[in-house]
Amino acid sequence: MLTIFNSLTRKHENFIPIEPNKIRMYVCGMTVYDYCHIGHARSLISFDMIRRYLMHKGFDVHFVRNITDIDDKIIARANERGVTIQELTNEFIQAMHEDCAALNVLAPDTEPKATEAVAGMIELISGLIEKDLAYAVPDGDVYYRVRRFKDYGKLSNQNIDELRSGERVEVESKKEDPLDFVLWKRAKPNEPFWESPWGNGRPGWHIECSVMSKEALGSHFDIHGGGMDLKFPHHECEIAQSEGYHDHPMANYWMHNGFININNEKMSKSLGNFFTIRDVLKYFPAEVIRFFMLNSHYRTHVNYSDELLNQAWNGLRRLYTALNDAPESLPEFDANHPIAVRFAEVMDDDFNTPQAIDLLFEAANLYNKNHDPKDYVILKTLGNVLGILDANPDQFLKSVPNQSDDDSEIIEALIIKRNEARANKDWAESDRIRDELKARNVVLEDKQGKTTWRRETN
């Protein structure tokens, strides 16, 4: 049976969907004011893997990932660039979709935008005020009364009295309590706004997901996910809003992926170790990034470095090298194959992708040894469940991340010259060309009168 580590209870639990064979799943998405960074890639890939495996198990998954398209950073960036907010957000939504496609992240079934859900946010805030869980101040801001929600802190396992003012929660004198958080912000000059019972303004960040998840999945759904950095305060505040209003649980299972560290340091722009997905794609194929991420359990923190990416690239090449020797005919996938059975066992244990990938290498070794088409199908199919190994093997083995650096035509010409030298028994020239190709990180294989080649990283 599938077990999931539930961040809410801090233990592994058997997964039982609210509706048989159906899963409603919400994952916090991007605030679209800049390109997605490598930390975003971790979350995108982690929850895409989870979604794919649930689908592989036969569940009907409704997957929702939202877009925050109104926020202080968005307003500031649009002003810096002298463009409208919509122009800015459209640009980075398109860029996000391109990054997701490169990483083989499936498009969400529903992708709500915050600006399209403001009416629902106003309705929810009004309901919280009626229940005395929120209050408006004279200038038009609205705040949530944290101490009125007795379970505040249950997700992040924090005692409300131990939360020190000014460290984790902004202190404002107009609040009744320093812990209270904003639901509605009054409009400032030259900022976008919506009309509301409290005057012109716009929603706070936390209220967005409470409303977008409800409108897409209902007020009670199966899985809520996001990065570990969202556990507090964002997800904690979502729970307070949604459960305070509806008087029942928001989500049965809360899941959080780990952080990305760069060379053992936390990624930050101030440290100069901040990388966008597009930065990394200049040096590594997108599938290598995905494979690298999957080599660590989704809940662990991952150390990112070029050396580790190169190791992942070489590992992925090993798998594609096996797939490049395809049998003439392929049998059906056998779910009772010993490797498929063990794959299901490790993935059912809170999506243990490192052990699942070990089984892919086992399948590749079996196929290389015995050339049994059943092992080939196991390798290919289970790789696809993880969102990898669906490229043309020959093309992948010859690939370079930046096409401007593609020297494939030069390599092919050198191979032709080497074959001519071998035919003329000019072994010195043949060896010289092989050495030149080796210097280009090209590995040759002479088999059945034909020369094939693939790249290797240093």
Tell how far CA 455 is from the center of its chain: 28
Whether 374 and 337 map to the same domain: the answer is: yes
The pLDDT profile of the chain, 458 residues, written as one tens digit per residue, is: 999 999 999 999 999 999 999 999 999 999 999 999 999 999 999 999 999 999 999 999 999 999 999 999 999 999 999 999 999 999 999 999 999 999 999 999 999 999 999 999 999 999 999 999 999 999 999 999 999 999 999 999 998 887 754 444 455 678 999 999 999 999 999 899 999 999 999 999 999 999 999 999 999 999 999 999 999 999 999 999 999 999 999 999 999 999 999 887 877 777 778 899 999 999 999 999 999 999 999 999 999 999 999 999 999 999 999 999 999 999 999 999 999 999 999 999 999 999 999 999 999 999 999 999 999 999 999 999 999 999 999 999 988 766 556 788 888 888 888 988 888 988 998 889 888 888 888 888 887 778 888 887 66
Same domain (yes/no): 234, 253: yes
**269 has binding-site annotation:** yes
The predicted pLDDT at position 167 comes to: 43
The CA–CA distances, whole Å, from 409 to 111, 398, 413, 420, 439 equal 42, 11, 6, 17, 16
Into how many domains does the chain fold? 3
Domain around 363: 308-396
Residues 248 and 362 in one domain: no
Residues 33 and 128 in one domain: yes
Q: Evaluate whether residue 277 is within a structural domain.
A: no
Residues 131, 40 share a domain = yes
Residue 338 lies in a domain: yes
| Tokens linked to 196 | 């509301």
pTM of full prediction above 0.75: yes
330 in the same domain as 244? no
- Given this model, what pLDDT does residue 171 score? 53
Identify whether 159 is part of a domain. Answer: yes
- Distance CA(86)–CA(380), nearest Å, equals 42
12 known ligand binder: no
Based on the fold, state whether residues 421 and 321 are members of the same structural domain: no
**Do both 215 and 323 map to the same domain?**
no
Count the alpha carbons within 13 Å of 105 in the hemisphere toward its beta carbon.
Answer: 25
Residue 209 annotated as binding site: yes
CATH number assigned to the domain comprising residue 172: 3.40.50.620
First to last CA, the chain: 42
Same domain, 176 and 101: yes
Do 419 and 381 lie in one domain? The reply is no
235 is in an annotated binding site: no
Residue 298 lies in a domain: no
Is 80 inside a domain boundary?
yes
Q: Is 234 annotated as a binding residue?
A: yes
Instruction: Tell me, yes or no, whether 248 and 329 share the same domain.
Output: no
Domain end among 191, 226, 260: 260
Query: Is 446 found in the same domain as 350?
Result: no
**pLDDT value of position 436:** 87
Q: Would 371 be classed as within a structural domain?
A: yes
DSSP string, 268-328: -TTTT---BHHHHHTTS-HHHHHHHHHTS-TTS-EEE-HHHHHHHHHHHHHHHHHHTS--S
How confident is the model at residue 165, as a pLDDT?
44
